[in-house]
Amino acid sequence: MISAKSNVYGILMILEGVMVLVPLALLPFYPGDAVYLPFFAVPGGVSILLGRLLFFRRKTLAAVFEERESSRVVLFAWGYGFLLAALPFLGLRDYRFTQILFESVSGLTTTGLSVLDVERMAHIYLFYRSFLQFMGGVGFVMMILVFIQDKDSMEMYSAEGHPDKLMPNIGMTAKVILLMYGGFLGVGTILLRLGGMTLFDSVIHAMCALSTGGFSNRAASIGAYHSIRIELVTVLLMLIGTTNFAALLLLLRRKFRQFSRVSEIRFLAVLVALFVPVMTLFLTYQNGYGISESLRLSFFNAFSALSTTGYATCDYSTWGAGAIGVMILLMLIGGGAGSTAGGIKLSRVYLVLRSFFYQVKRRFMPERQIQNLYYVKPIEGRVKIQGQPLEEAGTYMGMYLLLYICGTLLLTLTAGCSLTDAMFEFASALGTVGLSIGVTGPAANDATLFIEIAGMLLGRLEIFTVFLGIVGLRKRIKRF
Amino acid sequence: MNLFGKKEKNAYIIIAGCGRLGAGLAASLSLKKKDVIVIDEKEEAFRKLAASYGGLTMCADAADLGKLTDAGIQRADVFIAVTDKDNTNIMAAQLVRQLYGVRHVLVRVYDEEKIRLLAGTGIEAFCPAELSEKEINRYMNWEDEDED
């Protein structure tokens, strides 16, 4: 039925339709939730049908490539996904459409900010929210690549923000990534179950930790369990989620030495070693927690922010500005490139920092002396730092921070909160983290939610793709 | 769409040299869903690869044994040496053939004389000049006249 000749938009619609139908598998276990059946079955069914109908318009993948619209395909996949994924939430009658859309965007971008009341939500919706994050973590394009590979697959793959090739074949790469992702889900669920969660909670939390999403079925998030074992397992899963898939593959192949040489991994270790003690210090002196208490808090929350997951073990509104500042910094830096995490990405920050130190050092070097800078990538090995990647990293970082400032200021305007709160909240949205200091919640107004939706979108698809898609769309409209 | 069906082994192809021939070959093999890795000394050479190329690239000397091992030479079914240096091509091919016993080894050699070096090694060598000559003869039907 589905082949490389099928319409790529149709394939995406079918895939996303199936995604909406998956939670129905839970009905045998929670028969009481059957009242919500139509809210899942109708959007899912219609989407699959529409997608199938699109196949009759013979616009093949090859044609898409010729028009250079791979970033538009990616934008469509996500835009359509957000709308479709919002529809089942209509079954919860007490919410405005903006709130529902916000939840769907927050899910698929693996952010984890929530405006719904999770404590009294049906199981099927709890599962559905987490499943959205699990799917959003790897991306739609990655998933269709398992089924079809064509001329422009590679372009769409990189347009969706996956920088790495793991295997000498793009289809294999997608398969290996999905296999690892599924495998870690199994392991994570078992570990959380052993940690003392119920099976349902384990599945949900494993899905959301791996995708660095951070939805929980408790309002107090992981903090509700008061269990150090669960916290440790969650940190492990978040760490896996934020590690580049290529580096994870090195681990699975037991190439530990190569793994430990990867620049991103080293940088991550340095950041953690630096900021966990700093945060502990701030928490002890500014908030008056005991040493062990603040160590535990900063360990978990630093990982939660850096991995852009957004699980919380406490209420941040009581924290002092120092610790909040460290959290914001970590959220902005974000996780590894080519993982499910958001933020500026470790590799970009690393490149910019290395380049900065080199510039300083060069002032003191003889004019004609040249020094080559290298950084280590998981697959390619040692790569020279130069030209395009460096330029890209610098531009991205600058643009990211500009957008961050704009969004923060807008948020102070719409939500009427302090600058610190707005900074925390928008760093959380733009980095697809999902920690909240209290600005986002059932009481938040539509303007606030839309600003955060924009932030989450830009953060997940990595700014460039969004702008490429919009520019392409504008050109097309001009032609008519 | 063959997710869980029969698992047939996909040919693993290593191409040394990302020139016009190497890059073109890599892109077309990659489209045919073969496993492909291209090795070249210069990072810039990979710019010639089409955007649709979905395989791996590696920046290394084609005759560097350690790098060839990293590229997975033990698993390779086909090794194609098409760098612009005859000696590199021949040396890489001999290494690969004799040490790892790769089944199909193909080499481009510009200098016709050097093809003799590879006689009896099981390495398939071809020479662009010779091929072009053949093509011209075929086009003009000159070969038939010889026989008359």
The residue of chain B with its CA nearest to that of A159 is B51
Q: Is B69 on the interface with A (CB under 8 A)?
A: no
Number of structural domains, chain B?
A: 1
Are the beta carbons of A170 and B30 separated by less than 8 Å?
Answer: yes
Q: Is residue B50 part of a domain?
A: yes
Domain that holds residue B105: 12-147
DSSP reduced 3-state for B77: coil
DSSP reduced 3-state for B120: coil
Q: Is residue B7 part of a domain?
A: no
Neighboring chain B residues of A384 at a CB cutoff of 8 Å? 43
Are the beta carbons of B33 and A151 separated by less than 8 Å?
Answer: no
Q: Is residue B136 part of a domain?
A: yes
Matching residue, tokens 């400032």: A405
In sequence order, what are the residues at sequence separation of 6 or more whose Cβ sits closer than 8 angstroms to the Cβ of residue A79? none
- Among the partner-chain residues A3, A153, A168, the one whose CB lies closest to the CB of B56 is A168
pLDDT at A377: 85
In sequence order, what are the residues at sequence separation of 6 or more whose Cβ sits closer than 8 angstroms to the Cβ of residue A220? A312
Size of interface A-B (CB pairs under 8 A): 58
Which ipTM value was assigned to this complex?
Answer: 0.77
Neighboring chain A residues of B57 at a CB cutoff of 8 Å? 380
pLDDT at A40: 92
Q: How far, in Å, CA of A187 to CA of A202, rounded?
A: 10
When scoring A169, A375, A468 by the number of chain B Cβ atoms within 10 A, the one with the most, hence best to mutate, is A169
- pLDDT, one tens digit per residue, over A61-118 is 555 545 556 777 888 889 999 999 999 999 888 888 899 999 999 999 999 888 888 8
Are the beta carbons of A169 and B57 separated by less than 8 Å?
Answer: no
Neighboring chain B residues of A71 at a CB cutoff of 8 Å? none
Q: Is residue B108 part of a domain?
A: yes
Q: Is residue B90 part of a domain?
A: yes
pLDDT at A258: 87
pLDDT at A60: 55
- pLDDT, one tens digit per residue, over B81-138 is 999 999 999 999 999 999 998 999 999 999 988 888 888 888 999 999 999 999 999 9
- Among the partner-chain residues A147, A154, A381, the one whose CB lies closest to the CB of B53 is A154
pLDDT at A6: 67
Going by C-alpha positions, the residue among A416, A336, A436 that lies closest to residue A426 is A436
pLDDT at B3: 45
Whether A403 and A275 have beta carbons less than 8 Å apart is answered as no
Closest CA–CA distance from residue B144 to any residue of chain A (Å): 42
pLDDT at A3: 61
Matching residue, tokens 């080293």: A266
pLDDT at A461: 82
Mean pLDDT by runs of 10 across the 480 residues of chain A is: 68 91 91 89 92 71 56 85 93 87 92 86 91 90 81 80 83 90 94 92 93 87 89 93 91 89 92 93 88 91 91 87 92 88 90 91 87 83 80 92 95 92 94 89 90 91 81 74
Q: Is B37 on the interface with A (CB under 8 A)?
A: yes
- Among the partner-chain residues B35, B57, B58, the one whose CB lies closest to the CB of A172 is B35
Q: Is residue B89 part of a domain?
A: yes
Whether B79 and B94 have beta carbons less than 8 Å apart is answered as no
- Among the partner-chain residues B12, B43, B70, the one whose CB lies closest to the CB of A168 is B12
- Confidence band (pLDDT; 50, 70, 90) for B9? low
Q: Is residue B39 part of a domain?
A: yes
Are the beta carbons of B52 and A151 separated by less than 8 Å?
Answer: yes
- pLDDT, one tens digit per residue, over B23-50 is 999 999 988 888 999 999 888 898 888 8
Are the beta carbons of A169 and B54 separated by less than 8 Å?
Answer: yes
pLDDT at A460: 86
pLDDT at A324: 92
Q: Is residue B67 part of a domain?
A: yes
What CATH number does residue B75 fall under? 3.40.50.720
- Among the partner-chain residues B35, B52, B59, the one whose CB lies closest to the CB of A168 is B35
What amino acid occupies position A126? L
